[in-house]
Amino acid sequence: MSKAIKGFTVWLTGLSGAGKTTLARLLEKELSKKAFQVEVLDGDEVRRHVSKGLGFSRKDREENIRRIGFLCQLLCRHGVVVIVAAISPYRNLREEIRAQSYGRLIEVYVKCPIEVLIAQDEKGLYERALAGELKLFTGVSDPYEPPMCPEVVLYTDKETPGESLYKLVERLKELGYID
Amino acid sequence: MSKAIKGFTVWLTGLSGAGKTTLARLLEKELSKKAFQVEVLDGDEVRRHVSKGLGFSRKDREENIRRIGFLCQLLCRHGVVVIVAAISPYRNLREEIRAQSYGRLIEVYVKCPIEVLIAQDEKGLYERALAGELKLFTGVSDPYEPPMCPEVVLYTDKETPGESLYKLVERLKELGYID
């Protein structure tokens, strides 16, 4: 790395249905207005492109997250702001990514109690997971390891998307990433 | 795609040992001097990152090239100039990538007769391939389909790296990508 890194990564982690993609898109809009180059990397979408063939075992999930991390590095070093929306359930992997981020990663814990998610269950995934139809489903049949020291926690069961966005943007200002 | 694409891709294709990486690095230096954001995607390197586990069957090679194409799109739409150095032996895949490049791809055929490469054989790969030790080795035990209408052909058995670089830069000027 000879050049100074100008981009940064906003990494949204949390359970399925917690609101990661919604918030990623809202933040994308907000930062694009400020003339940043912004790229949203959605976990599901990345799987279709660079992680075709990978499944949901711990090893495959880790590899998928590593690849997202590689994309972040690639984009950040050219000044792009990368917003990741991915369950990314394992703490060690998120820490591995952070260690490679040149100190320019903001970990955002998109937190919503699983009972609320099960009750909402917009995509019907929790029902299927609880019925044993979906193996290795995070929070039900596969672990989710919450961040220890995330830069931001968004309580999406209590906050509106607008309120969460406001908190996130304020925190980015506080940390000096945006004006 | 709402934004205008500002980046472009210089795609170097050719046999192993033909000089793709050397030329990619020379071009990178040249374009960096002109204040472009430049990223070199080396086929072997990409394999270590987003294509771990893929082999050298036609299907796996195609998937690898598709992933490189995805990275090009990702970077180009944020204004980065991407220089790809990858054997990329199959014409249909290179055409697929071109079709997704918003008309901003320069295909460069790094051409060197296989007899010359076998005689040089700096990494000893051709010897191993000819001995049958390396299966699916492009040009020996796997096909290489030369480009039909590349924007540039570099004859690396006859030109010095400096001469090839000069030709390539002049062609980029001619095509309006650089001043």
The average pLDDT across A137-148 equals: 94
Torsions phi, psi of A98, nearest 5? -60, -40
Closest CA to A80 of A23, A46, A39: A39
| Residue B38 included in any domain | yes
- Compute, in degrees rounded to 10, the torsion defined by CA atoms A85, A87, A91, A92: -80
| Residue A125 included in any domain | no
Q: What is the DSSP letter of B40?
A: E
Q: How open is the CA angle A63-A68-A70, to the nearest 5 degrees?
A: 95
**Among B50, B67, B74, beta carbon nearest to A75:** B74
> What pLDDT is attached to residue A5?
67
Which CATH number does the domain housing residue B113 bear?
3.40.50.300
Taking the whole predicted model, whether its pTM rises above 0.95 is answered as no
Give chain B's domain count. 1
Q: Which of B2, B32, B57, B88 is labelled catalytic?
A: B88
Residue A105: enclosing H or E segment and its boundaries? Answer: strand A105-111
Residue ranges of B 76-105 with Cβ closer than 8 A to chain A: 78-80
Domain ranges, residue A71: 8-113+144-174
| Residue A3 included in any domain | no
| Residue B55 included in any domain | yes
d(CA A70, CA A101) in angstroms, rounded, equals 10
Would you call B52 and A74 a contact, using CB atoms and an 8 Å cutoff?
no
Would you call A79 and B78 a contact, using CB atoms and an 8 Å cutoff?
yes
**Residue that has been written with the tokens 């072997």 in this structure:** B44
Determine the residue of chain B that is closest to A40 in CA distance: B74
Tell me the per-residue pLDDT of A12-61, one tens digit each, with 9 for 90 and over.
Answer: 999 999 999 999 999 999 999 998 999 999 988 889 888 888 988 999 99
The average pLDDT across A111-140 equals: 94
The answer to whether B17 touches B117, Cβ cutoff 8 Å, is: yes
Tell me the per-residue pLDDT of B4-63, one tens digit each, with 9 for 90 and over.
Answer: 668 999 999 999 999 999 999 999 999 999 989 999 999 888 898 888 889 889 999 999
Q: What residues form DSSP beta bridges with B41?
A: B84
| Residue A85 included in any domain | yes
- Compute, in degrees rounded to 10, the torsion defined by CA atoms B16, B22, B24, B28: 170
Q: Which of A88, A101, A141, A164 is labelled catalytic?
A: A88
| Residue B178 included in any domain | no
Assess whether B88 carries a catalytic annotation.
Answer: yes
Would you call B67 and A80 a contact, using CB atoms and an 8 Å cutoff?
no
**Residue that has been written with the tokens 């949204």 in this structure:** A12
Q: How open is the CA angle B100-B176-B14, to the nearest 5 degrees?
A: 55
